[in-house]
Copies of this chain bind each other. A is one copy, B any other.
Amino acid sequence: MTSASTSPFRVSLDAMGGDFGPSETVAAAVAAVAAGDLHVLLVGDPTEIQTEIERHSAQDLPLTVVPSEDVIRDGESPLQALRAKPKASAIIGVGLVKEGLADAFVTMGSTGAAMAASAFGLGMMPGIERPGLGGPMYGLAPKTTLIELGSSIDCNPTKLLNFAALGVAFARTYLDVTNPRVALLSVGSEDTKGNKQTKEAFPVFQQSGLNFIGNVEGHDLAVNTADVIVCDGFVGNILLKAMEGLGVSLAAYMKERLSGLVSEADAAAVSQDIYDILNRTEHTGGGPLFGVKGNVIVGHGRARAIGIAGAIATAKRLGELSLTSKMEEELATIRASVAI
């Protein structure tokens, strides 16, 4: 144990979520609790989970099995699934947080399901309509938070400003950025450059009290010009997926390009590094749902045990930093500055 605390941090983990289910999620939980000061509640099929626990000889570790039935999959309508599968792992997992039995919920399963279950189960912060996605997305600019990444497609200035506030709280608390520089993602640095949306948002950001540095452009995502870069979920999602796609094709290219120049193992390692730099969320263990009144961490479906253990560690750190309270404070400050 790394801490003498008598009440370890409690994470409810969607053991059925992700592409590989209990074989990876339980391995992750075992690794996470072994690091100490943590209790993991494994939500899912008790038999499957128990088999994995035994396989790891982890019967004596602080792991609890919480039964659930069914899983909400990617592609299902989250709202319909909430009704059709009331005992699904995402719903039971969020429920544990709601009932005060867990301090955070972690899932590699359907993001839509996590969002819907969280919005209904835990509620949204004032001014936020639905959970947002954000965070650093490029490995060479690891302290630049981009928000929003795909849940809020069409955004008015108020929505963008609220996301900015959430991003600021995240950058300050989780990334240790003092006085985060906030920018709107646009097509030119002047306030007259942009689409209807950014031009309307610009003056609202100016009077917000945030450390608003104006517009930034696409190339600024890579070079630490701003700490929190705000865009709507349409642009953010296209950018995120474009980077991921570049990561896949550049990694393949690099393997080929280095063949003959370096050993096969070195070529593979460099190729993997390029992939990781551009597919950051896959390996850093996911990020929080922004704006939810509770700690909910969503990771990548393709994550293996090491990534899932990272997500659990992220949940613990966010909880200990009281990120959600910090976000609520930041939103309240913004509301006081701008009449929204």
Residues on A close to B: CB < 8 A? 138, 140-141, 150, 153-154, 185-187, 194-196, 217-223, 231-235, 237-246, 248-250, 253-254, 257-258, 261-262, 266, 270, 273-274, 277-278
Contacts and interface: CB of A to CB of B under 8 A. Distances in A.
A270 B245 contact: no
Chain A contact surface mostly: helix
A218 B242 contact: yes
A262 B270 CA distance: 12
A169 to B, nearest CB: 25
Nearest to A225: B245
Contacts of A234: 186-187, 194-195, 235
Given A218-B244, A241-B217, A270 B258 contact: yes
A243 B258 contact: no
Q: What copy number does this chain have within its complex? A: 2
The 8 residue pairs across chains A and B that have the minimum distance between CB atoms:
A218-B241, A219-B245, A218-B242, A222-B245, A218-B238, A222-B249, A187-B237, A195-B234
Contacts of A258: 262, 270
Contact of A194 (B153, B243, B273): B153
Contact of A261 (B140, B217, B257, B266): B266
A187 to B, nearest CB: 4
A196 B233 CA distance: 12
A42 B248 CA distance: 44
Contacts of A186: 234, 238
Contacts of A242: 218-219, 221-222, 239, 242-243
A191 to B, nearest CB: 14
